[in-house]
């Protein structure tokens, strides 16, 4: 569309000579203001009318007494309310178009139709975006169940703590040792038909690295483990869980035979029962706590605190070991000197002769 310079000049002159609120151009008055402000007035009126149509829903979500009284009244007279809103909407739109000199009914209907078409064209993108946002919110809210269903609730992907990043030390970590005596009542692995279970145990807890025992071949449904694992527990985070997995080693990968989940609070209880109150430890039944596996089986566990030795405490032991090694070497030297000389092989004699060394023994 082409515009002449005279038309543009006339339009600029008309915009410059706006008179504001006038009463001599129509009933009851006119708003002779720039067209940009008239457009904003139309948009504001449409938004307020849309809110009026949604007023029952808005008041239903509010909790004050006026909203509850209006909701109770309007939900029993919905037809009366919306007939009144329809007539009120037509009156307000006609009145607004009448006081705005640059707007007509045809232009309003045209722009309203263009807005509806634009909304319908982009409604698919809006629905897809809303579906992504809703899905993300649901996964964030039910993340524990999602991780549990995926079988990865015992795996720590990010070993990161905001408190440690900020330099705030609030953790109470200390080392403990988990003793595993035996497992019993295990089910047969579904991947093996003609071979007994090759049992090993895998443990996951918090920021610790995964820990495993050795594989006990052809163990079957019960196995004596008699091994121990050391890891750190954080007493300031009682909800952190230890996941103990009893597995069967296969040709490719491994199959889970049973699992046990224990919180930090439960581990401290086991430690108090089996580690802090005992005087002598031995692999027997009264030193362990039997716990049930899911879906079936039993495992016998004991937990004990680990005492970390200082360098000053370790030095005497190292010195005693060094003295023992010196005494052992001295005894070996004396034993060799007291033994009768052995017959010298012929090739050793020839080699000594070539090297020029004296042949003889002490």
pLDDT at 312: 52
Contacts 24+ apart (CB under 8 A), 30-37: 30/99, 30/100, 30/101, 31/99, 31/100, 31/101, 32/101, 35/102
pLDDT at 45: 93
pLDDT at 89: 93
Beta strand pairing call for 173-184 and 298-305: antiparallel
pLDDT band at 161 (very low <50, low <70, confident <90, very high): low
- Tens of pLDDT along 181-199? 999 999 888 777 778 899 9
pLDDT at 244: 93
What does the alpha-carbon distance between residue 362 and residue 359 come to, in Å, rounded to a whole number?
A: 10
Q: Quick check: 211 and 247 in contact, CB under 8 A?
A: no
For 35-39, 165-169, 272-276, which range has the lowest pLDDT when averaged over its residues? Answer: 165-169
* Phi/psi at 307 (5° precision): -90, 120
pLDDT at 347: 46
What does the alpha-carbon distance between residue 134 and residue 360 come to, in Å, rounded to a whole number?
A: 93
Q: Measured between alpha carbons, how far is residue 301 from residues 204, 232, 245, 269, 271 in Å? A: 15, 17, 13, 12, 10
- Tens of pLDDT along 214-263? 999 998 888 999 999 999 988 887 778 899 999 999 888 888 899 999 98
DSSP tally for the chain: helices H, then strands E: 11, 10
Evaluate if residue 206 carries a pLDDT over 90.
Answer: no
Residue 254 tokens read as 């491994």
Phi-psi region of 80 (alpha: psi -120 to 50; beta: other; left: phi over 0): alpha
What does the alpha-carbon distance between residue 120 and residue 131 come to, in Å, rounded to a whole number?
A: 17
Evaluate if residue 108 carries a pLDDT over 50.
Answer: yes
* Phi/psi at 317 (5° precision): -65, -40
pLDDT at 13: 52
For 22-26, 279-283, 308-312, which range has the lowest pLDDT when averaged over its residues? Answer: 308-312
pLDDT band at 273 (very low <50, low <70, confident <90, very high): confident
What does the alpha-carbon distance between residue 69 and residue 67 come to, in Å, rounded to a whole number?
A: 5
Q: Taking Cα atoms as reference points, which of 173, 175, 238, 245 lies closest to residue 204?
A: 245
Please name every residue paired with 300 in a beta bridge, in sequence order, or none if there are none: 290
Please report which helix (H) or strand (E) contains residue 126, including its range.
helix 105-141
Q: Span 89-103, mean pLDDT?
A: 90
Q: Measured between alpha carbons, how far is residue 168 from residues 109, 172, 206, 236 in Å? A: 63, 12, 19, 13
pLDDT at 247: 92
Q: Exposure of 302 by Cβ count < 10 A (0-12 exposed, 13-18 middle, 19+ buried)?
A: buried
pLDDT at 2: 45
Q: Span 26-52, mean pLDDT?
A: 87
Evaluate if residue 64 carries a pLDDT over 70.
Answer: yes
> How large is the C-alpha radius of gyration of the chain?
43
Predicted TM-score (pTM) above 0.75: no
What does the alpha-carbon distance between residue 180 and residue 182 come to, in Å, rounded to a whole number?
A: 6
Beta strands in 117-269 (DSSP E): 173-184, 199-205, 211-212, 223-234, 241-249, 254-263
pLDDT at 325: 60
pLDDT at 348: 46
pLDDT at 236: 80
- Tens of pLDDT along 282-336? 888 888 999 999 989 999 999 988 876 555 554 454 455 555 565 666 667 666 6
For 117-121, 166-170, 289-293, which range has the lowest pLDDT when averaged over its residues? Answer: 166-170
pLDDT at 1: 41
pLDDT at 162: 60
Residue 269 tokens read as 């209880």
- DSSP reduced 3-state for 174: strand
pLDDT at 165: 63
């Amino acid at each position: 569309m082409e515009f002449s310079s005279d038309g543009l000049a006339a339009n600029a002159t008309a915009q410059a000579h706006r008179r504001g609120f006038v009463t001599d151009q129509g009933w009851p008055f006119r708003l002779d203001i720039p067209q940009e402000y008239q457009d904003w007035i139309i948009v504001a009126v449409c938004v307020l009318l849309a809110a009026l149509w949604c007023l029952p829903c808005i008041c239903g979500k509010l909790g004050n007494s006026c909203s509850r009284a209006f909701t109770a009244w309007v939900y029993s007279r919905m037809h009366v309310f919306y007939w009144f809103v329809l007539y009120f909407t037509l009156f307000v739109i006609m009145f607004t178009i009448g006081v705005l000199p640059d707007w007509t009914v045809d232009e309003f209907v045209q722009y309203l139709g263009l807005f509806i078409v634009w909304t319908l064209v982009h409604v698919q993108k809006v629905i897809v975006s809303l579906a992504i946002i809703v899905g993300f919110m649901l996964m964030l809210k039910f993340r524990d169940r999602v991780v549990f269903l995926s079988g990865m609730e015992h795996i720590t992907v990010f070993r990161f703590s905001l408190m440690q990043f900020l330099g705030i030390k609030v953790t109470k970590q200390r080392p403990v040792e988990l003793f595993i005596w035996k497992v019993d009542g295990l089910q047969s692995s579904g991947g093996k038909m003609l071979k007994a279970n090759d049992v090993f145990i895998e443990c996951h807890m918090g920021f610790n690295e995964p820990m495993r025992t050795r594989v006990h071949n052809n163990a079957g449904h019960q196995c004596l483990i008699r091994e121990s694992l050391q890891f750190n527990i954080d007493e300031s985070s009682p909800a952190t869980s230890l996941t103990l997995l009893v597995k069967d080693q296969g040709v490719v990968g491994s199959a889970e035979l049973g699992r046990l989940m224990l919180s930090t609070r439960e581990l401290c209880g086991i430690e108090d029962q089996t580690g802090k109150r005992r005087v002598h430890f031995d692999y027997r039944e009264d030193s362990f706590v039997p716990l049930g596996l899911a879906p079936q089986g039993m495992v016998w566990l004991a937990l004990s605190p680990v005492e970390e030795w200082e360098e000053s405490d370790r030095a005497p032991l190292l010195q005693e070991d060094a003295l023992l090694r010196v005494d052992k070497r001295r005894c070996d030297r004396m034993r060799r000197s007291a033994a009768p000389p052995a017959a010298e092989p012929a090739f050793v004699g020839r080699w000594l002769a070539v090297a020029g060394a004296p042949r003889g023994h002490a």
